[in-house]
Structures are given as structure tokens and as C-alpha cells.
Amino acid sequence: MDDKCRHCGSEGSTKEVGNVEIERFSQEDSQHGSFDFTKFVQVDKCGVCGGLTIRQILWGDDFGEVMSDRLLYPTSRDNSSLPEKVRMRREAADRVRRFDPGLYAVAIRRMLETVFNDQGAEGRDLFHKANDLVRKKKLPPNIAIAVSHLRDIGKYGAHDEEIEVAKDDVPLIENLADAVLEFVYRSPAAISALEKSIVDRRGQLSSPSHLAPTVSTDTETA
């Protein structure tokens, strides 16, 4: 089983701290007879950051091995559509997520800079680059506003401010960053995959993708 921490990314750092058996059952096979299985939930704890990972495991009693291993917590997103540099920036941010909220905010700002540069954004700072992408219809205005808030929070993390980035800010920063990644990379990739699947089976789409609604460009610039 994978012993990489899903919170901080440390390799070989997790250790089982408990498990609960859910059920035992048998499955018949017409050629080989009956096989017994045990399904249980296992909790692992990271020795580096203390984060908990919860899995649902199916053990083959007659085979003496794990038949399936499904991650229940923390839930993970599909980052396969992210460019390598963006993915590396996100992973770097995740490594400090539980240790230092200020560093996490700075790391997420750095990731967003990489995203916007990848999209050809122009501007003197993160907010102006976001607004440039709004004008180019590559980003919705509400996300540009959220990026402005991320910029403000990131300033606290990068400087010796009296107002510090709080632990409670971390999930908010993470959600806003994910909103950008979802809009720029994950959703377009999912739509493309769906369209390809339809074309492969039917030969054509029922409605052209260029008829998708456009993004408004009405947003305040700083």
C-alpha cells in the first residue's frame, strides 16, 4: 500500500494507527469454488505532519493480499490536466500546508503566478494579471476578485506583519486556488474528454462547443 502522506507529501511517513472491520463475505467462482474476503477501514497517521489518512481496504483471505485499496480521506483531485510546472508548484504548497499557513499562502501565490504566466497573462502583479485574463475571457470576474483577496493574504505571509495568516485561512486559500485550477485546466480537460467520447461513438456533437456562453469582462481594475 502507498505510505505517502496525502497531506504533506512525505514519502514513507505514514503508519497504521487503527482499523475497523466492516464485513466478511464470500464470492463464488464457477471454476475455482468459493473465496473469502474481509473489508475494513484503516487509519494511518503521518509521523511528519500528524495528518490522518483513511482507506477502505478489501483483503483477500484466500489470496493473502490486498485486492483493492480506496482512499476515503483526504479526498484528492485529478491533477493530470495541470502543466508540470503548475503541478510542482501545487505540490510544493501542499508540503507546507499543515506546518506554516503564511508559507502556504506565499506558495499558492507563486502557483497562481505560474498559472497566469502559462495562460499568457500580462500585468505588473497577480491581480492585474488576473484582470488581463478576464479581459481575454480566460477567467471569470469573480475569480479575479478572489485572487485579489489571495494577494492580500499572501502579503501577510511574505512580510513581518502584525496580522498573520491564520490556520483557519488555509482551507479558504486552498478552495480559491482550486477554483482557479478547476476553471483553467480541469473543467476544459473534462469537457474535451467528454466531447471526444461522444465523437468516438457518434461521429459528431449535437451542439458545437463554440456556442458555450461567454464570460463577462466587467470587473474593477486596481
Please report the DSSP string for 102-159 in residue order. Answer: HHHHHHHHHHHHHHHHHTT--SSSHHHHHHHHHHTTSS-HHHHHHHHHHHHHHHHHHT
Write out the three cell numbers for 166: 491564520
State the pLDDT at residue 133. Answer: 93
A 10 A CB-CB count for 94 gives 19
State the pLDDT at residue 113. Answer: 92
Q: Would you say 104 and 93 are in contact if contact means Cβ atoms under 8 Å apart?
A: yes
Residues above pLDDT 70, as percent of the chain = 85
State the pLDDT at residue 13. Answer: 85
- Alpha-carbon distance of 172 to 103, in angstroms, equals 15
The whole-angstrom distance between residue 208's C-alpha and the CA centroid of its chain comes to 29
- Alpha-carbon distance of 95 to 86, in angstroms, equals 14
User: What pTM, to 2 d.p., does this model score?
Assistant: 0.65
State the pLDDT at residue 193. Answer: 85
State the pLDDT at residue 26. Answer: 92
Residue 191, CA distances (Å) to 16, 148, 204, 206 in order: 39, 28, 15, 14
State the pLDDT at residue 213. Answer: 52
State the pLDDT at residue 222. Answer: 41
State the pLDDT at residue 12. Answer: 82
109's CB contacts (< 8 A; 6+ apart) are 126, 150, 151, 154, 158
Strands 33-46, 65-73: pairing is: unpaired
| Averaged pLDDT in 10-residue chunks for the chain of 222 residues | 75 90 89 89 90 91 90 81 93 85 89 94 90 92 84 60 74 88 89 83 63 49 43
Q: For the purposes of burial, counting CB atoms within 10 Å of the CB of 143, is it exposed (0-12), middle (13-18) or buried (19 or more)? A: buried
